[in-house]
Structure 1
């Protein structure tokens, strides 16, 4: 166990020196790349860094970030392969040191008793000198162990903080920053908790003529429209549902354990609420054209995958677009609401 701890410390020091040498910004993702390089666990990553060094190209942030995204962007792998093993090694070493410190303190206590007894008995001086020497030696060893334990506890706390930040980053990676809704990755993760054997429905929502809004009023206004639409969607779904910004001006809502009829009613409420929006560009005091959405609705049936459900809802959305927009279409009946 001491060997694995020493190796982890060695790799950590090599990673730190490597980052200093190449002026690599000391952020967690860059450290993860450097650590993996010296731990020699990913041959493809090592080959790319060695190739960059051989060609005398800089190890700049763009290159390091690309390596992180290619090999380590799955944050679970970072935790499983770096932080968790290192944390386990630290904890094991700390436990051993604590045992040694406890044994040393017990030995000091016994030797103190012996020293007092020898003094009372007026025995030979050499024997007392040996006892004093043992007390000093064990005391120094115990102090060294206690000092090392303090440093290791600090390192263990830092590992715990890094794991906490990693979990926060993992959660942030599931959220669309503009709207606060889940993104595609977040949607996929949430869907894992739902059974395909139950009844679920899906809405696919697309903002009508959104490109005209961007072209006429700019992307900042376009972003504001997306945020307002997302806000209305969030206000109409339940805590069990999964609202998602699927990309651009398109949204998906998975209605957990709800029929297509229920989904249609909710879709209509969302559509009408968005159509009531009155938006004005503050700088020019210009009123924006009416914001409307088209919505496709589908229900999960037996032997159907999530991809099939979304595709059915998407096909219904296309029909809503082709039928004049600002309407809801049911995938099963293919009739405009």
Structure 2
């Protein structure tokens, strides 16, 4: 129940949410239930649009998709945490810049003080000696303060480095699929947006990969074994992608590779190499020693411009998949 709903309203929506889950053939888990409630209540337009689009493409609502929807549209972490990352990145850059500027400024000031000592000695002896004594004392005090400043700046630098590590962990949580370590859909959108800003005419080759008979494998051996197999296949897929490419887990048993400025023929060859590589994988249960079935994948290749609707391109590529 949402806090703004009355008890009567909540009861109605709760009952409808259960029926909606039954229509979607989903278990009433806390995540699924929360999403169904939002969908039925029609208060979260972005969530509703995302689910309607998923259904319109013929893709089922599985646990993988529901978890992604929950993270993005209910927890509301995406925009907030993205902004937080930008703010902290700016803070870190500012701190590092201040550290460098302060160090240069202090060194320059000390250098000027030292150089003036010789100039002062060329005038009236008594005044010059007095000035030199005062300047020497001031220099000692200043150097002491400078040492303290250096120590403080070093501490700030250490803190900023620790913060950078924490931010990296947050980035992983936001942009990486926890099971496979590949990028998720949010990372895909962020990279496509960056490519578009860089060049609206940038072309990208897309390789869509589906794991064959994955649902039968999980039904026979369980979801835990299925997760292990997906993770191994994902690692094999990633091994064929260099730093310029983007390997993504887009669905429960579906992967996508985006290759900017890569020819379709090269993308096709990469897809074939991945298919061959996965077919050579052998899986044996570490507990029982049972040899698991040989895994195969289906591959589809397409090419698009970053100004196009990426989801439509992916759907078209799915239709071109060959086994």
Question: Would you say same fold, with TM above 0.5?
Answer: yes
Deviation at 1:85, TM superposition (A): 3.1
Query: Per-residue displacement from partner, 1:259-302 (whole Å, max 9, x unpaired)?
Result: 55655555455445434543221311222233233334433279
Gaps of 5+ in 2: 1-74
Q: Take 1:154 and 1:208, find their aligned partners in 2: how far apart are those partners?
A: 54
Please say if residues 103 and 150 of structure 2, whose CA atoms lie closer than 8 Å, have aligned partners that are also in contact. Answer: no
Distance 1:211 1:141, change over 3 A: same
Query: Per-residue displacement from partner, 1:65-106 (whole Å, max 9, x unpaired)?
Result: x898763444222122x2233444444444443343334334
1:101 paired with 2:110, answer yes
SS at match of 1:202: strand
After TM superposition, the score normalised by the length of structure 2 is: 0.56
Matched residues, number: 244
* Aligned with residue 205 of structure 1, among 209, 215, 219: 209
Root-mean-square deviation (Å): 4.2
Q: Could you tell which deviates more after superposition, 269-278 or 199-208?
A: 269-278
Q: How does 1:282-321 map to 2 (within 5 A)?
A: 282-300=286-304, 304-314=308-318, 316=319
Task: Give the structure 2 partner of residue 227 of structure 1.
Answer: 231
Higher relative contact order structure (alpha carbons within 8 Å, sequence separation ≥ 6): 2
Please say if residues 111 and 135 of structure 1, whose CA atoms lie closer than 8 Å, have aligned partners that are also in contact. Answer: no
Q: Whose Rg is larger?
A: 1
Task: Give the structure 2 partner of residue 85 of structure 1.
Answer: 94
SS at match of 1:252: strand
SS at match of 2:250: strand
Distance 1:206 1:87, change over 3 A: same
Task: Give the structure 2 partner of residue 3 of structure 1.
Answer: none
Task: Give the structure 2 partner of residue 150 of structure 1.
Answer: 150
After TM superposition, the score normalised by the length of structure 1 is: 0.55
Task: Give the structure 1 partner of residue 188 of structure 2.
Answer: 187
Please say if residues 204 and 306 of structure 2, whose CA atoms lie closer than 8 Å, have aligned partners that are also in contact. Answer: no
Gaps of 5+ in 1: 1-65, 119-126, 317-328, 331-335
Task: Give the structure 1 partner of residue 37 of structure 2.
Answer: none
